[in-house]
Amino acid sequence: MKNLAGLMKQASQMQSKMEEMQASLATIEVEGASGAGMVTVTLSGKGDLKRIKVDPKLADPSEMEMLEDLIVAAHAEARRHLEERTSAEMQKVTGGLNLPPRLKLPF
């Protein structure tokens, strides 16, 4: 029973650290770019789209399909950056223990 109490205490501490990490990540912004920087997308730490910057040279109506593709590509890059950052922060909190993404503690 003593081991169970210790395990529950560790789980509680890990949950507290994860909540701190999530609060910290909520304050960051990550950026993704495509088209040699002609399109940039900024996401919040929660993955919400915050800003899109488009080089005015791409505003040609005949190039709209390419512009739309570049926006999608920039968003995908920004999401990858966010996932990498989130994963790195999670590794710090869990001490390298591989837990499923979005795991809520205690179980």
CATH of the domain at 70: 3.30.1310.10
Average pLDDT, the chain: 82
| Number of independent structural domains in the chain | 1
Give a yes or no: residue 75 inside a domain.
yes
d(CA 76, CA 88): 18
Range of the domain at 44: 27-94
Q: Determine the straight-line distance between the first and last CA of the chain, rounded to whole angstroms.
A: 18
Residue with the larger pLDDT of the pair 107 and 61: 61
- pLDDT value at 24 more than 70: yes
Each residue of 3-18: pLDDT tens digit? Answer: 878 878 887 888 888 8
Look up the pTM and report it. Answer: 0.59
What is the 8-class DSSP label of residue 58?
A: G
- Residue 11 phi/psi, 5-degree rounding, is -65, -40
User: For position 37, what pLDDT does the model report?
Assistant: 92
Question: Could you tell me if residue 57 is inside a domain?
Answer: yes
